[in-house]
Amino acid sequence: MTWEYTEKTMQLFMDAVHGKPSSHMGEIADPDGFGEHGSIACGDALRFTFRTERDPSDPLRDRIVEARYLTFGCTSAIAASEALCAIIEDKKCSPVEALEITNRDIVDYLGGLPEAKIHCSVMGAEALEAAVFNWAIRRGVDLAALGIDITRQEQDEGRLVCKCFGLSEPYLRRKIRELNLRSITQITNAVKAGGACTSCHHAPGGLQDLLDEAWGKQPTTMVSTPSLPIGPQPAGGEPELSPYQLAKRVEKVLDEDVRPKLQHDGGDLEIVDIKGMLVYCRLQGVCATCAGATSTIKLMVEQALKDRVDERIRVINV
C-alpha cells in the first residue's frame, strides 16, 4: 500500500533519516519540557522535548528556542514531528503560547496529509501539550489560573472503549468534539481507535454510541461501517483488501522479508490467526526464547507489514 505524500513531507522525512543538520530528530538532555504520546504497542509513539531561554523574573516570558523529537512511526509520523519542531522554533513563542499550535497547523505546514495519516499530526499536538504541562510543573506556573484546563489527562482515565489502542471513553468524547469527528472512519484516522479488530465500532458504549451522543443520530448512510476495519482508504484510491487478499499479502511479505532474516539466525515465525488488522504470530526456534522477542515482533515483523501491506496492522506475539 502506498501513500501520496506532499513534497514537503517527503523532504522532511528524507532529511531526518539522512541525519541532515536541519533535522530535529533527537532528544534534548535535561530539557525544560518533556512530553510523550502514543505507545510502541499501538504502533506509533512520540517523545517530544524542548529547551527554553529562561526569563529570570517571569516564567511566562520563557521562549522555546530548541525542540527535538524521537518517534517510532512511519514517514508521516517523522515528517509531522519535524513540522511541529520547525513551527515552534520559527515562532520563538512561550510554552503557553505554544499550546495554540494545533494538529491542523502541522498538516498545513506539510501541505496536507492523507486522511488516514491525520493521527500523526494529532500525536504531535498531544505530545506538545504534555511537554508544556511538564514545563509548567518545573517552572511553578499555575496553568489553571491562566484558564488552561490541566486536568485533561486525569479526566481521560476511565472505561476503555477501544481496547486495541487503550483509548478511554472520556478521551474519545473529548477528541470527538475537539477535532469535530463525525464518523468512525474519522475517529480512526485521527486517533486510531477502531482501526484494528473493529469490535468497538458498534458495541454498546462503543464508537458509534459516542458519536450519536455527541452529534445526535445521523442517517445511516453517513455512519455505515463495513465488516472489515474501515479506515482510511489510501491516497490513490486502492481498494480495501479482502481478508483472503490480506492474508496472502501478509504471507508474501513474511516469506520475502522476514523469514529469511529469522532463519538466518536459527529462528522462524508462524502465523496463528488474522482478525481484521490484528496478525497473531508465534516466534519459533531461537527467536521464541530470545529476550528481544518483543522488539523482533514490533521492529521487524510489524514494521515490514505496515510498510508493505497496511499501516494499520498490529502484530501480536502469542
Query: Is 163 one of the binding residues for ligand FES (CB under 6 A)?
Result: yes
Q: Which residue has the cell 538466518?
A: 264
Candidates 197, 288, 293, 316: give the one binding ligand FES (CB under 6 A).
Answer: 197
- The residues assigned a catalytic role are 42, 120
For strands 63-72 and 278-285, give the pairing: unpaired
Decide if residue 230 touches ligand FES (CB under 6 A). no
Please identify, among the stretches 7-15, 101-109, 157-165, 287-295, the one whose residues bind ligand FES according to the rule CB under 6 A: 157-165
Identify which range of 36-44, 103-111, 187-195, 281-289 contacts ligand FES by CB under 6 A.
Answer: 187-195
Q: Is 200 in the site for ligand FES (CB under 6 A)?
A: yes
Tell the smallest beta-carbon distance from residue 167 to ligand FES (Å).
8
74 binds ligand FES (CB under 6 A): no
CA neighbor of 115 nearest in space, from 280, 261, 234: 234
Closest approach of ligand FES to the CB of residue 162, in Å: 3
Is 172 among the residues that bind ligand FES (CB under 6 A)? no
Contact flag: residue 208 with ligand FES (CB under 6 A): no
Does 217 participate in binding ligand FES (rule CB under 6 A)? no
Among 120, 162, 190, 191, binds ligand FES (CB under 6 A): 162
Size of the site for ligand FES (CB under 6 A): 11
Quote the distance between the C-alpha of residue 222 and its chain's center. 25
SS (H, E, C) the chain: CCCCCCHHHHHHHHHHHCCCCCCCECCCCCCCEEEEEEEHHHCEEEEEEEEEECCCCCHHHCEEEEEEEEEECCHHHHHHHHHHHHHHHHHCCCHHHHCCCCHHHHHHHHCCCCHHHHHHHHHHHHHHHHHHHHHHHHHCCCCHHHCCCCCHHHHCCCCEEECCCCEEHHHHHHHHHHCCCCCHHHHHHHHCCCCCCCCCCCCCCCHHHHHHHHHCCCCHHHHCCCCCCCCCCCCCCCCCCCHHHHHHHHHHHHHHHHHHHHHHCCEEEEEEEEECCEEEEEEEEHHHHCCCHHHHHHHHHHHHHHHHCCCCCEEEEC
* By CB under 6 A, residue 232 contacts ligand FES: no
205 binds ligand FES (CB under 6 A): no
Nearer to ligand FES, 67 or 164 (CB): 164
Q: Are 13 and 79 in contact (CB under 8 A)?
A: yes
When the beta carbons of 68 and 192 are compared against ligand FES, the nearer one is: 192
* Interface with ligand FES, residue 196, by CB under 6 A: yes
CB of 112 to ligand FES, least distance (A): 26
Binding flag, residue 164, ligand FES (CB under 6 A):
yes
Query: Nearer Cβ to ligand FES, position 95 or 206?
Result: 206
Q: Which stretch binds ligand FES (CB under 6 A): 11-19, 188-196, 211-219, 232-240?
A: 188-196
Instruction: Please report, as ranges, the residues that interact with ligand FES according to CB under 6 A.
Output: 162-164, 193-200
